Amino acid sequence: MEQKAPSGMRRVRNRGVLGFALLLAILVVLPLFGLSPNAVRLLFVTFVWVTVSIAWNILGGFGGQVSFGFAVFYGLGAYAAALAVNRGLPTIVALLLSAGVAVLASLLIGLPTFRLRGPYFAIATIGVSESVRVLMTNVSMTGGASGYRILETGPFRQLDHFYISLALAVVALAASVEVRRSRFGLALIAIREDEDAASDLGVNPFRTKLLAHALAAALTGAAGGVYAQYAAFIHPQGVFAFSIGVAILLMPIIGGVGTIWGPVVGGVVYGLIHDELVASFPQLHLLIYGSLLILIVLFEPAGLYGLLDRWFRALAGARRIRAAVP
Amino acid sequence: MSATDLLNLLIAALLLAGVYAVMSVGMTIIYGVMKIVNLAHAGFLMLGAYFVYELYTHLGIDPLLGVLLSFPVFFLIGMAVHRILVRRIPISDQPSLTSLLLLFGLWLVLQNLGYLVWGNSDRAILTPRTLDVLEIGPIGFPTVRLVVFGVALAALAGLEFVLHKTWFGRAVRALMQNNDAGRIVGVNVDRTARVAFGVGIAFAGVAGGLLAMLYSFSPDFGGPFLLRAFVIIVLGGLESFAGVAIGSLILALVETFGILALPANYQPAIAFSLLVVALVVLPGGVAGLWNRRRRLA
């Protein structure tokens, strides 16, 4: 169904695409101008977080299914990639394996819990997260609780990792945009708004949720794989930690849940400030995130992106008024 | 395995089920009246444990008395939380994303306040009677567990009385069955919800105190019990008090006897596996099974 957008709207959209292309170009060439290794690392981590934030938003934001258990996919992806790399498989294959394993896990979790609506899925994800972490601390093939090391064969090239993570974040963003535009995305939003009505209109809620869960899991698993190859050492208390699952949920919500750019904003903010925050307030940082979550739920459900959007609109409006009344 | 061992395990399971019921019943009330899954329950369990601990170590108040004191204190805290936070989110007859996230945020805040105040080392409440065992023939009853079970039963009996014999109890039950109809016949939804939230949190505090007498605890204490409470109320069909009792018993039995089949490492996975089984086999909980059979007959 082709719908002609008003020319003003098309201009705005074109400007958005142009701005995005510019931003991407800057990010691609930025590390070539002597950025410090630490700055490159920070950007790398930020891209990983942006990816998982976007992934969570596909299920949680568009579909309204809150999951506390994305650490499962992140951790499984990390382990799958680590095992694959140590068997001499190329990076791309390792990342595909990461995504595949995460998709399998998402089906195992989703098949029983999506049969029922309501909070079952959300709470079950807390349980899955704990169970998988316990399981992984007891699996001897991956070193159990003491962790697993990737044996590097070549020299460490930080920029390779940087570009891989950037590419993955772009893929995630493209997937999110594509979902939002597609029939599938509309079905997800319909389910979030009213599952009965969606079902009456011919949407299969069970299958749609399962598919969104799988897509989100694939992206999150791949992000875990990218991280594992950079870190070269992973352990269950790190990649399967409940706090990782919490972080993955907080980013899109703080940024602006259910939008395209909100999760990106959330991921960027989290990626850039998280290390600083943990370093300065080792005990307090989750307290800060928790309070932020409460404030956002109560006062600004559209998140930081909504707040920024409102400010820009107010600024633009003020300018227009000033222009009109000289 | 001898018959005595079996009997010992059975009794251990029964005694455990009492605490589990107290722990879950608060969640059921809140879910029933407001359709809110109270994730902050875990935070209040933890606070309940530290409340009793602080009273005992600093003021020398007996943990049992501490548990009794925790009821009114947590009742007031619960009402305040409802007033300040929960009331602001729209009422709905379906569990909403907003309420889930709000209470999750509250859990994060409580848990990390806990870390701030008490650090992350494990604490335990040790009283002179902690290690006492009451021997009846070949069977040993740990005294603490008996006492905890007694308090749990008393709390549940009190709740049962309130729910069936008072205006507030009738209002709660009415709202649980049908929110709109309850409103039509003149139930003050806001006040009932506030008191119900207070009662729910009060039970969380009491359960926390009781659990603290049995296990060591840290600010992380509530998480695994939150999952257990949820398993129990799912087994019980989410909105039934009798269901809570049955659910507690099932979980306690499976956990206690699970030790025979599974290494202790995997214990945390038991509750989750039970949840999945319950979701797949018994969508309406055990009570749902009962209703279905009655309908068929």
Domain extent for B69:
3-221
Band the pLDDT of B283: cuts 50, 70, 90: low
Taking CA–CA distances from A111, the nearest residue in chain B reads B280
B268 chain-A contacts, CB cut-off 8 A: 130-131, 134
Taking the C-alpha atoms of residue B234 and residue B247, their distance in angstroms, rounded to an integer, is 8
B43 chain-A contacts, CB cut-off 8 A: none
**Does B167 score more than 80 pLDDT?**
yes
ipTM above 0.95, yes or no: no
Say what percent of chain B tops pLDDT 70. 92
**Please, how many CA atoms are within 13 Å of residue B143, restricted to the half-sphere of its CB?**
11
What tokens appear for A45 in the block?
């981590």
- Mind listing the pLDDT tens digit for each residue in B94-118? 677 788 889 999 999 999 899 889 8
pLDDT, residue A15, reads 73
- B98 lies in a domain? yes
- B263 lies in a domain? no
Binary contact (A122, B100; C-beta < 8 A): yes
> Do A76 and A224 contact (CB within 8 A), yes or no?
yes
Each of the 326 residues of chain A gets a pLDDT tens digit; together they read: 444 545 555 666 677 778 888 888 888 888 788 778 888 889 999 999 999 999 999 999 999 888 988 999 999 999 999 999 888 888 889 999 999 999 999 998 888 888 777 677 887 788 788 788 888 888 777 777 778 888 877 777 888 888 999 999 999 999 999 999 999 999 999 998 888 888 898 889 999 999 999 999 999 999 999 999 888 888 888 888 888 888 899 999 989 988 999 999 999 988 888 888 888 877 777 888 889 889 988 888 888 888 888 888 888 877 666 665 54
- B232 lies in a domain? no
A113 chain-B contacts, CB cut-off 8 A: 276, 279
Does B269 touch chain A if contact means CB atoms closer than 8 Å?
Answer: yes
Does B266 touch chain A if contact means CB atoms closer than 8 Å?
Answer: yes
- B264 lies in a domain? no
Binary contact (B224, A130; C-beta < 8 A): yes
- Mind listing the pLDDT tens digit for each residue in B201-257? 999 999 999 998 888 888 888 878 888 888 888 888 777 778 888 889 988 998 888
Taking the C-alpha atoms of residue A228 and residue A231, their distance in angstroms, rounded to an integer, is 5
List, in order, residues 6 or more apart from A39 with CB less than 8 Å away. Answer: none
Does B104 touch chain A if contact means CB atoms closer than 8 Å?
Answer: yes
pLDDT, residue A134, reads 81
- B284 lies in a domain? no
Torsion of CA B202, B203, B209, B213, to 10 degrees: 170
Calculate helix-pair angle for B3-34, B167-177, nearest 10 degrees: 80
Binary contact (B109, A294; C-beta < 8 A): yes
Number of domains in chain B: 1
Short-list A250, A254, A298, CA closest to B85? A298
Taking the C-alpha atoms of residue A103 and residue A257, their distance in angstroms, rounded to an integer, is 23
- Mind listing the pLDDT tens digit for each residue in B241-273? 788 888 899 889 988 888 777 776 677 677 777
B101 chain-A contacts, CB cut-off 8 A: 66, 253, 293, 297
What tokens appear for A58 in the block?
């596909």
pLDDT, residue B126, reads 80
DSSP state string for B154-215: HHHHHHHHHHHHSHHHHHHHHHHH-HHHHHHTT--HHHHHHHHHHHHHHHHHHHHHHHHHHS
pLDDT, residue B96, reads 74
Interchain CB contacts (distance < 8 Å): A and B? 109
Taking the C-alpha atoms of residue B94 and residue B32, their distance in angstroms, rounded to an integer, is 11
Residues of A with CB under 8 A from a CB of B: 64, 66, 68, 112-113, 115-120, 122-124, 126-128, 130-131, 134-135, 137-138, 242, 246, 253, 283-284, 286-287, 289-294, 297-298, 301
Read off the pLDDT of each residue in B146-160 and give the average, rounded to a whole number. Answer: 86
- B173 lies in a domain? yes
Neighbours of B140 (CB within 10 A): 14
Taking CA–CA distances from B90, the nearest residue in chain A reads A298
Domain parsing of chain A, residue ranges: 37-241
Q: Which of A127, A131, A284 sits opposite B112 (nearest CB)?
A: A284
pLDDT, residue A321, reads 64
Read off the pLDDT of each residue in B68-94 and give the average, rounded to a whole number. Answer: 88
Band the pLDDT of B284: cuts 50, 70, 90: low
The 8-class DSSP code of residue B217 comes to B
Residue in A120, A121, A286 to test binding to B, most B beta-carbons within 10 Å = A120
- B240 lies in a domain? no
Q: Which B residues 228-247 touch A at CB under 8 Å?
A: 230-231, 234
